[in-house]
Amino acid sequence: METLISFVVNGGVLSLADQNIVRSIVKMKEDQDKILALDNFKLLSAAGEAGDCAQFTEYISKNLKLYSLRNGYDLSTTAAANFIRSELAASIRSHPYSVNLILAGYDKTDGPSVFYLDYMGSLQKLNFGCHGYAAYFLLGLLDRHHQPNLSLEDGVKLMKMCVTELQTRFLVNGKYKLKFVSKDGITEIPFTL
């Protein structure tokens, strides 16, 4: 039922996530932040078992913090993505975490990038990525309208287009949170249609 979308725009990445915590047929919460800032230039969106998401994303963020304290610089987005992948791949063979992730980041050398990860330990570098049922509704739309050199305003417009589509056809709805990572760091963009 959860929705995670991230895509590359000119000079940064936009990440959107729904804010619902659902258990069975009950909506427990509708103001959850599912996009964690791992450091000043990385956003990790997580969907799946709520407890696993909290546990695993905290584990990842503390490990990245430890790396930066030890070495005096942060891990690159690519390196972080591969680290997360290897942790997921190791955990599914002993203590599986049921989490699906999208890592969005900005690097001085590599620019903006989006990585799609799932609970089985697959990793894909993409220009746009979706998790959850949203993917069924939105991949076609993003195929048609997304370009990596979209301006930030056009990117936000495309996010709104995605959410409009979900509100038209998808059974479940609620509030959404939108964040942007660029060379200036992470900002939250107020999101209303």
Q: Which residues bind another protein (CB under 8 A)?
A: 71, 73, 75-76, 78-79, 82-83, 86, 109
Question: Cα 123 to the chain's mean position, in Å?
Answer: 13
Q: Which two tokens stand for residue 90?
A: 């190791």
Minimum gap (Å) between residue 66 Cβ and another protein: 13
Q: In sequence order, what are the residues at sequence separation of 6 or more whose Cβ sits closer than 8 angstroms to the Cβ of residue 105?
A: 13, 41, 42, 43, 76, 77, 80, 112, 113, 115, 181
Q: Which is nearer to another protein, 19 or 68 (CB)?
A: 68
Rounded-to-integer distance, Cα 52 and Cα 75, Å: 23
Q: Which is nearer to another protein, 101 or 159 (CB)?
A: 101
Q: Which is nearer to another protein, 86 or 151 (CB)?
A: 86
Rounded-to-integer distance, Cα 24 and Cα 86, Å: 31
Minimum gap (Å) between residue 123 Cβ and another protein: 9
Distances (CA, A) of 164 to 8, 28, 59, 176: 20, 23, 34, 12
Minimum gap (Å) between residue 72 Cβ and another protein: 9
Minimum gap (Å) between residue 40 Cβ and another protein: 17
Order of all β-strands in the sheet with 111-117: 35-39, 42-48, 99-107, 111-117, 123-126
Q: Which is nearer to another protein, 73 or 144 (CB)?
A: 73
Minimum gap (Å) between residue 83 Cβ and another protein: 6
Q: Which is nearer to another protein, 122 or 173 (CB)?
A: 122
